[in-house]
Structure 1
Amino acid sequence: MPRTRTSATPLFVPRKTSRAAQKAARNQYAQARRQARHTDATSSPRRHSGIDPELQPTYPVAGRPGPASARGGKLRLPAHRMTTATVSGAYPFLAEGGLGAEGIFIGRDVHAEAAFCYDPFALYNSGKIEGFTNPNVVLAGIIGMGKSALAKSIATRAIAHGYRIYVPCDPKGEWTPVAQALDGTTIALGPGLPGRLNPLDAPVRPASVSPDDWDAEVRKRRLLLLAGLARTVLKRDLQPVEHTALDVALDVVVADAARNDTVPLLGDIAAVLSTTARLDTALDHQGGTMHVAAEDLAHALRRLVHGDLSGMFDAPSTIAFDPTTPMLTIDLSHLGGAGDDTALVLAMTCASAWMESALADPDGGRRWVIYDEAWRVMRHVGLLERMQSQWKLSRGLGIANLMVIHRLSDLLSAGDAGSRGRVLAEGLLADCSTRIIYRQEPDQLHAAASLLGLTGVETQAISALTRGRGLWKVAGRSFITQHILHPAERALFDTDSRMSGAR
């Protein structure tokens, strides 16, 4: 049976009752309430049936009754007003409008619960973000957090916006199926493969450049390439006499090619360096010790002709650059990925020089250049110098460079503090207006915070990011973005098929 409780209700007092009558009514009501509480306190306890009374819940299902439940109360704090610009200094992740709806769809802004789009060219041209001075991007994240999927997703979706994609180095061959799915072009280089690239190919002369000026530009590029290759093999800087030897050998080979209506090859350069008589003749026998310098250079370039890189760069190119292809990748996965990576660096140097012919075309439109596994080039000054040139000229060339690394500390592996390599690596980071940081290990948080100037909240955030979620810093503005993949993209970008046993 339901328990009967004693209660007291206020008495009705007519409006025109005297004060004495009202006071008496209030006293009567107070006495009735005291009597009701006394009656409830002295009543016999309710008998429970079935379950042990000790096991009964302390509070009902609805929760703790009374003001202590914190339901329906008002939280009273002193009022304080400030602008969002001020609040962002203490907590940078504010719900805002993002970067706008123009550009490539990336995913979901976690804090704003809205779509997140990104287009460096549109942001640069609009000028609505202060401090966005270049379209270059750096992407860092530990293995398995989805940074490769993000890079491939940006590339494939950018094609729908009219951009073209160049991947000058694919050390693991992961971009080959992506290029094939998009009707792009892949050049696989390696011993025994039919692909050939001649890094001394001259790019097509722009209509706005005179023939003499263009010949001088092509000669400069070829000399920089030859010096970079020799420096990589010799593992030291070149002496002035060695630069002279390369200069003279290139002029001799180019003159021979013009007479025979052929193209200059690396093998021809190595042959001229091996024949000191031709060098002495070209210098009117004023070379002095030219044969000593030429001997080391000849052996250095011989590796690309008769050594472990033979069959890749010692013949005319088997494929011509097609400016209409949506994606061009150079697959270097057949060169191996363990031990000494000198062969890979030499191949990357030659492939980059060949691809620069496309980047120099002023009518090539806007393009993305993606350096996957860029941590492998950080220890080689020659490649860093080539990358720095593209970073500095990105606006003039109409390209957006994307550098993919594992940790921000990879930039510190370029050399000791103050060294040429270290300065170049840190310069690449400084020339990136967009930094995308996926999850970092705890021992890498200090390096990431110091290199990127992260706040305490941002540093704590990147240590707890989940798969596919990253911190986007776009010219000082911060976003936590969840990358969203289409099922077709997920299947195409899968790099864990061997771990899962899938074919």
Structure 2
Amino acid sequence: MYALTKPLIASVAVGGSPSIDTALAGAVRDADVPILPMVVERLLRPDPADDPDGRLTEDGRQVGHALRRLVAGDLAGLFDGPSTVRFDPSLPMVSLDLSRVTENSTLVSVLMTCSSAWMEAALLDPNGGRRWVVYDEAWRLMSHPALLRRMDAHWRLARHYGLANLLVFHKLTDLENVGDAGSANRALANSLLANAETRIVYRQETDQLGPTAVALGLTGAERRLLPGLGTGQGLWRIKDRAFVVQHQLHPAELAAFDTTARMTSNTQDHARAFMN
């Protein structure tokens, strides 16, 4: 509870606060399964024995009301009960699906703050073996400063922790959604891309050729290849070497990662109906 809740509180709190530590410690001490409403209650109404002069009440008011949104506000019911999922880092693959909440940036931020604590525990376990960490729609995660800083730390310590990190973008101009132009967050996001030793580029539309070539340092010949790449073909840049690769999916991989299944299944259904 403490390890998961502390980063969540930090995402909505301003600065450090003794009321946070006191509320967390009390919730963990007094319940077998401590949950967020217990922490909020202790922030807004601390034990008089812990708060003889009222300073904890004053100190915890701002963060308490911020967290109350997760308990009684528009996000109630999502984070205020016992966990319904057991995180098992021993599984061969763990996927966090945010597809149903992508339109709510606050919800994405809170979800990633909670789940990243689980991820951190697994990734930094010295007995956990080597890990492949994939950030799909990476720009969306990068738009949250705390998550961006955590990604940067994983990049810098990748070899130490046995990590291989993969950023996935539909187009590199998505990075323009990270922070303001010239901001520290934009610079940090661009540095993650710059530090990638292997870049894989699939077919690009004409209007994306210039930004892609500049961001990845492509030669004129490599740039001209991009619009003509077929399905599954990618330009691999490994440091100073370049290769055009035709990627092949195992049937099991295709079943797991086919993003066109709904459209193709409808097409097949219509074809069968027409033939009948």
TM-score above 0.5, yes or no: yes
CA contact (8 A) 2:138 2:168 kept: yes
CA contact (8 A) 1:433 1:474 kept: yes
Q: Quote the offset at 1:279 in angstroms.
A: 10
Query: Residues 387 and 266 of structure 1: is their aligned pair in 2 closer, same or farther, counting only changes over 3 Å?
Result: farther
Q: Secondary structure at the match of 2:237?
A: strand
1:268 and 2:38 aligned: yes
| From 295, 304, 317, the counterpart of 2:83 | 317
Instruction: Give the 5 Å matches for 1:281-292.
Output: 281=51, 291=58
Query: Residues 264 and 474 of structure 1: is their aligned pair in 2 closer, same or farther, counting only changes over 3 Å?
Result: farther
In 1, the alpha carbon distance for the partners of 2:158 and 2:48 equals: 40
| From 386, 404, 421, the counterpart of 2:150 | 386
CA contact (8 A) 1:249 1:279 kept: no
Q: Which moved more, 1:306-315 or 1:442-451?
A: 306-315
Partner residue, 1:497: 261
Query: Residues 491 and 286 of structure 1: is their aligned pair in 2 closer, same or farther, counting only changes over 3 Å?
Result: closer
Query: Residues 346 and 484 of structure 1: is their aligned pair in 2 closer, same or farther, counting only changes over 3 Å?
Result: same
| From 235, 250, 257, the counterpart of 2:20 | 250
Partner residue, 1:300: 66
In 1, the alpha carbon distance for the partners of 2:48 and 2:209 equals: 58
In 2, the alpha carbon distance for the partners of 1:462 and 1:272 equals: 58
CA contact (8 A) 1:253 1:272 kept: yes
| From 424, 427, 447, the counterpart of 2:211 | 447
In 2, the alpha carbon distance for the partners of 1:311 and 1:277 equals: 26
Identify, as 1 or 2, the structure richer in helix: 2
**Percent of pairs with identical residues:** 48
Say how many residue pairs are matched.
Answer: 267
| Runs of 4 or more consecutive aligned structure 1 residues displaced over 4 Å after TM superposition | 276-280, 284-287
| From 1, 4, 9, the counterpart of 1:226 | 9
Q: Quote the offset at 1:201 in angstroms.
A: 4.3
In 2, the alpha carbon distance for the partners of 1:396 and 1:278 equals: 46
Q: Quote the offset at 1:305 in angstroms.
A: 2.2
Q: Could you state the TM-score of these two structures normalised by the residue count of structure 1?
A: 0.48
| From 226, 229, 233, the counterpart of 1:465 | 229
In 1, the alpha carbon distance for the partners of 2:157 and 2:71 equals: 32
CA-to-partner distance for each residue in 1:137-165, whole Å, 9 max, x for gaps? xxxxxxxxxxxxxxxxxxxxxxxxxxxxx
Q: Secondary structure at the match of 1:345?
A: helix
1:435 and 2:205 aligned: no
Query: Residues 343 and 312 of structure 1: is their aligned pair in 2 closer, same or farther, counting only changes over 3 Å?
Result: same
CA-to-partner distance for each residue in 1:109-156, whole Å, 9 max, x for gaps? xxxxxxxxxxxxxxxxxxxxxxxxxxxxxxxxxxxxxxxxxxxxxxxx
Coordinate RMSD, CA, aligned:
2.8
Instruction: Give the 5 Å matches for 1:347-496.
Output: 347-496=111-260
In 1, the alpha carbon distance for the partners of 2:98 and 2:216 equals: 31
In 2, the alpha carbon distance for the partners of 1:223 and 1:259 equals: 15
CA contact (8 A) 1:379 1:415 kept: yes
Q: Quote the offset at 1:266 in angstroms.
A: 3.0
Larger radius of gyration: 1
Higher relative contact order (CA 8 A, sep 6+): 1
Amino acid at match of 1:476: D
CA contact (8 A) 1:471 1:479 kept: yes
In 1, the alpha carbon distance for the partners of 2:22 and 2:28 equals: 10
Q: Secondary structure at the match of 1:405?
A: coil
CA contact (8 A) 1:368 1:400 kept: yes
In 2, the alpha carbon distance for the partners of 1:302 and 1:451 equals: 43
Amino acid at match of 1:281: D
1:328 and 2:111 aligned: no
CA contact (8 A) 1:445 1:459 kept: yes
